[in-house]
Structure 1
């Protein structure tokens, strides 16, 4: 029996008339330089490091090879799930594709400007939800008229007003789930060539997740490409038709979502 965790052979390219590439990653490597002692704050190693740094002010640094030679091609109309253990390089890879993280070597091509939506996506905590809807829309290139036309839909989709007039309150008063829902609702109000969602659906309730999955399907039908990072394998199965599995920064498997999820679950069970 073939090893289910073995890398999947490259699939033959479909005719150009039917499959249009939106993202091409070619042998992408991402390397971080991490400064500071490896030991914990209260450990003997950390204490010794602090003493030595009094004589040498330069902090120690080590390299972390977060993504190791990853290659793939994404096409219009695909929803691609990125799965893997914590620290496997999923979010780092998306940041590299979005142009937010420089690559040490390799190349990334994309159609248009990829939009990255993550749980830490910047919204202004001191501004109201209403002002953040406007600023977020403008940041995505929407006109003020377009934002006004979609405003009620964005608010209704997010559900932030279901228990009161929260949209008129500062973002700092929101729960993490409310903020994540509003971020997704703002991003989903615009069609994207490439939309990358990093765990932004994890904090929503079941009803919001169903609405989000339906909106992702609409984005795909409108000829966009969606990348979804999630630790919820069920979400990947339900939302994506393709999955990419990263482990220790390396591409372990790329193929139909159900097959890749099955192999990953077998791996995590030690099967």
Structure 2
């Protein structure tokens, strides 16, 4: 679980020190007689061969500071989302430590909103979950809906979330999260949807969050989004930190290594 930095310690908001994250993946038994084998393992207390370990993050270290926007790049399965979940305190460290200033907020395309409830109800519940009061939610409700753009082609906010496209849902999630200032906001692929106007508004809001003494982490498969939004980037590959530096330099090195191909 993430630990909290002493507020008087200065400008760092996140310190990741030699972090390792290991998944235990349970796979189904194979072959005839697997039930008998399972019984024998139970009696002998032997570990199950159906549990596979995945070393998703391997010895990653970095320090993030107030006002930074940090992009995370790398191929699929490189550990980007796992790293954010560990910083948010959602995954335990197998080894190493994570220290954070305040409570990090993780916004991903799979962030929990309730499909059977209307967009309106989800705005209220999402705002409360982000730490806003009911009065603050009421005050910011119209701006959240306007920011998301979900009502531009009809009164979608009054419809159940299950009727939304994945892009509409992602835009609403970001609009809810962006309505509140965060000491550490982590965005996992939520800006990959929407038109150019929404992406421009999103980048403007990220700049405002940084000016409000926040730190923003952004995962995106769109390298242009990283270079347009972030001043620093971390390149992860196979769970290791390959490069940490100015966003344009890190993205250029990554694209050179992949031949300019998308991950």
- 1:54 and 2:45 aligned: no
Distance 1:125 1:231 in 2: 26
Matches within 5 A, 1:173-252: 173-252=163-242
TM-score, normalised by the number of residues in structure 1: 0.87
Q: Where in structure 1 do 4 or more consecutive aligned residues deviate above 3 Å? A: none
1:5 corresponds to: none
Q: Deviations over 1:192-219 (max 9, x none)?
A: 0000000011122211111101100110
Distance 1:129 1:115 in 2: 21
- 1:130 and 2:111 aligned: no
Is residue 35–residue 59 contact of structure 1 (8 Å, CA) maintained in 2?
no
- Quote how far apart the aligned CAs of 1:59 are: 6.5
Is residue 124–residue 132 contact of structure 1 (8 Å, CA) maintained in 2?
yes
Instruction: Work out which of the residue numbers 112, 116, 121 in structure 1 matches 2:111.
Output: 121
- 1:147 and 2:137 aligned: yes
1:40 corresponds to: none
- Quote how far apart the aligned CAs of 1:96 are: 0.1
CA shift in 2, pair 1:133/1:51, >3 Å = same
SS of aligned partner of 2:172: helix
Equivalences, count: 244
- Quote how far apart the aligned CAs of 1:50 are: 4.2
Distance 1:143 1:239 in 2: 30
Structure 2: tracts of 5 or more residues without a match: 1-7, 39-47
- Quote how far apart the aligned CAs of 1:270 are: 8.3
Distance 2:176 2:95 in 1: 33
Distance 1:52 1:266 in 2: 50
Structure 1: tracts of 5 or more residues without a match: 1-16, 38-45
- 1:31 and 2:22 aligned: yes
Is residue 53–residue 59 contact of structure 1 (8 Å, CA) maintained in 2?
no
SS of aligned partner of 2:256: helix
